[in-house]
Amino acid sequence: MPINSFNVGKDVRLDLVDPVQGVVSFTLITGFTAKQLTKEQRISGLDGVVRPLILPDGWDGSFEIERSDSLVDDYFAAVEAAYYSGQSIQSATITETITEANGSVSQYRYTGVMLKFDGAGDWKGDNSVKLKVGFVAGRRLKVQ
């Protein structure tokens, strides 16, 4: 739902697919960030000209989630239990669907995604509990 030709936070939908647990629907995502990682190098030629080289090196980001059930805790408990029982931990995918200001839809898929529980919440009287889930991904591909 773009407003006045600008994207707002409600214009994005996120779908996480874990190869073991299937589609994971975190209940109330309130924030999402992602950024491209790069490796930088400066090449100094004998001609005295410095030439920058920037290489893609994956993506990282995070989800902010309001805790309303045990889904996030259960997800990471299952992944941790699988690790300690010697099971193979497979990467997931995140599909980011954006409704553009002109009404079109853009879709990007993060592949090779590994999740980490960056914040299991601060429990304080009369406050909601905010969780933070971080991720790293190998690539971000345009789907449509």
Reported as a single tens digit per residue, the pLDDT across 51-101 is 999 999 999 999 999 999 999 999 999 999 999 999 999 999 999 999 888
Q: How far is 3 from 125, CA to CA, in rounded Å?
A: 36
Reported as a single tens digit per residue, the pLDDT across 3-39 is 777 777 777 888 889 887 888 888 789 999 999 999 9
Q: Confirm whether pTM is higher than 0.85.
A: yes
Q: How far is 87 from 82, CA to CA, in rounded Å?
A: 5
pLDDT score for 140: 97
Our measurement of the distance from residue 27's CA atom to the centroid of its chain's CA atoms, rounded to an integer in Å, reads 15
Domains, the chain, with CATH or none: 9-142 (2.30.110)
